[in-house]
Amino acid sequence: MWPTIFKISLLKKVFSVFLTGFVIKIMDDYSDQNIDILIGKPNLSIVMELGGLPYALLLFLLSFLLDASTSIGLFLASFALGMAGSLNVKMPSGLYGYQESIITVLFGFLVLGRVNMTSSMLIIATIQLWDDLIDYKKDGINKKNWAFIIGKVEALLLAIIFFLLTLYLDCVKAISTIIFMHIIVYMINLLFKTPQKILDIEGKL
């Protein structure tokens, strides 16, 4: 009986990570759409247009039903770290970016506990650093790339350290997040490549 329960809860957690990952990706693309149009980077909000918000809310609801603490933790961590990218910018709430970040992190620590919130923040930071390392050559205009700010090797080493720390705190979350990050990126790339392929075939025909 116990192994079955354990496996079900594990699966719930893994799928919750997957769905929250999609929500975070939609949110990230929504806030970066102006820069992405300038660079010519594929962006989900261009494809989804006004449908992005309802889909994101629905996916977040599903992930919340599967595993509440994991989905809230990851979402709060991504929100806090995303706001930390624009520290001195005044947000629609009237607060500065760093104030929103601090409030979000404190709220996360109070609601979810130290281990869950810390592991969520570390894994989101890992993904951010890894993403910046991949985009190192593409990012010319965008100066928010951490590989530019702290250096390529430093960013890589920090990403590895953060990942290992997450592995120490929450093994399942660390592994599933890294795997699903690549799967989500692959799926989105497929979404952007498919119309081009169809057009190519139609052109040949």
Partner 1 sequence: MFYYNLLSIILALSVFLLGYALGRRVGKKEGISEGIALIPIEWRKQMLETSICPLCRKKLNTYVNYDNINNRE
Which two three-digit tokens encode residue 115?
Answer: 């281990």
Q: How many CB atoms lie within 10 A of CB 45?
A: 20
Please choose, from the candidates 79, 188, 187, the residue with its C-alpha nearest in 3D space to the C-alpha of residue 124: 79
What is d(CA 120, CA 21) in angstroms, rounded to the nearest whole number? 12
167 binds partner 1 (CB under 8 A): yes
178 binds partner 1 (CB under 8 A): no
Site string for partner 1, 43-72 (x = CB under 8 A): ------------------------------
151 binds partner 1 (CB under 8 A): yes
Least spacing, CB of residue 157 vs partner 1, in Å = 4
Site string for partner 1, 102-141 (x = CB under 8 A): ----------------------------------------
168 binds partner 1 (CB under 8 A): yes
175 binds partner 1 (CB under 8 A): no
CA distances to 116, 133, 157, 160 from 153, in Å: 28, 9, 6, 11
What is d(CA 171, CA 169) in angstroms, rounded to the nearest whole number? 6
What is d(CA 100, CA 91) in angstroms, rounded to the nearest whole number? 8
185 binds partner 1 (CB under 8 A): no
If the CB atoms of residues 114 and 138 are measured against partner 1, the closer one turns out to be 114
DSSP 82-93: HHHTTTTSBPTT
Query: Of the candidates 47, 48, 102, 165, which one interacts with partner 1 according to CB under 8 A?
Result: 165
Least spacing, CB of residue 77 vs partner 1, in Å = 19
Please choose, from the candidates 77, 92, 42, the residue with its C-alpha nearest in 3D space to the C-alpha of residue 196: 42
Which two three-digit tokens encode residue 64?
Answer: 């919340």
Considering only the stretches 4-12, 132-140, 151-159, 188-196, report the one whose residues sit in contact with partner 1 under the rule CB under 8 A: 151-159
**Contacting positions for partner 1 (CB under 8 A):** 150-151, 153-154, 157-158, 160-161, 164-165, 167-168
